[in-house]
A and B are shown apart, each in its own frame.
Chain A
Amino acid sequence: DAGVTQSPTHLIKTRGQHVTLRCSPISGHKSVSWYQQVLGQGPQFIFQYYEKEERGRGNFPDRFSARQFPNYSSELNVNALLLGDSALYLCASSLGGGAGETQYFGPGTRLLVL
C-alpha cells in the first residue's frame, strides 16, 4: 500500500501570491493533519480534518485555509504569501484522528517564497 503522498514536492512563489498544496492519505484513513516546519525548527500544527470537517486549528492567520474532499484527500491553501511562509509543509494521516491514533507523515512539500 502507498503511504501518504504530497504534491508538489517543491514550489517557488513570490510574495503576495497564492499556493495550493495537496495531500492523499493512506487508503482507509479518514483524518488528515497539516503541519508547517520552518527550517531549523520542529513542525507546528496548522489544521486537522476528519470526514471533511475541521476538527482542530493551530495558531495560524486566516490566510491559511484547508479542506478535505469526499475521497479524504486534502488541500492546504495559503493566500497573500509572505517570506516567512517559506517552510516544509507536512501532511499526516490517521484512521479516525482520535487521541492516541498513530499518524503517518508524508514526505512534505518544500515552499520557497521570494
Chain B
Amino acid sequence: KQEVTQIPAALSVPEGENLVLNCSFTDSAIYNLQWFRQDPGKGLTSLLLIQSSQREQTSGRLNASLDKSSGRSTLYIAASQPGDSATYLCAVEGNAGNMLTFGGGTRLMVKP
C-alpha cells in the first residue's frame, strides 16, 4: 500500500526566503507525482506534474524534483511572497489507474 509523507507539517518563513518542501513515498512504482496548492477551505490547484521518467519540472518560481528510486520529491519555492501562504500537497499516481495518494500536506505561512 502506497504511503506518502510530507515534512515539515508546517513552516513559517519571512518574505523573500527560498524554501524547500519535502515529500516521500513508499512504493516507487508510480506513474507520476503532482504538487498541489490548497487555500483554506478551497479545492486543489495543480502546480506541477512530474512524469515518472522525468527528474524535474519548473513553473515560474517553483521547481519540483523527483527521485523515483529513493521515493522522494522536493518542491523548491524561490523568493517567497505572502501570497504563497497556503497548504501544499504532494500526490502520487500509481500504475493501476487514475487514483491519487496524497500526503498530509505542508502548511506554509510567508510573513511580510
Contacts and interface: CB of A to CB of B under 8 A. Distances in A.
Most buried by B among A41, A44, A90, A100: A100
A73 B89 CA distance: 26
A74 interface: no
A102 B49 contact: yes
B99 A58 contact: yes
Overall SS of chain B's interface? strand
A86 interface: no
Contacts, number: 75
A43 B100 CA distance: 9
B98 A103 contact: yes
Contacts of A31: 98
Interface residues of A, number: 30
Interface size class of B (residues with CB under 8 A): 20 to 34
Interface of B: 4, 6, 31-32, 36, 41-46, 49, 51, 89, 91, 93-105
15 contacts: A4-B43, A42-B4, A43-B89, A43-B100, A45-B100, A48-B97, A55-B98, A90-B43, A97-B97, A99-B93, A99-B96, A99-B98, A102-B49, A105-B45, A107-B43
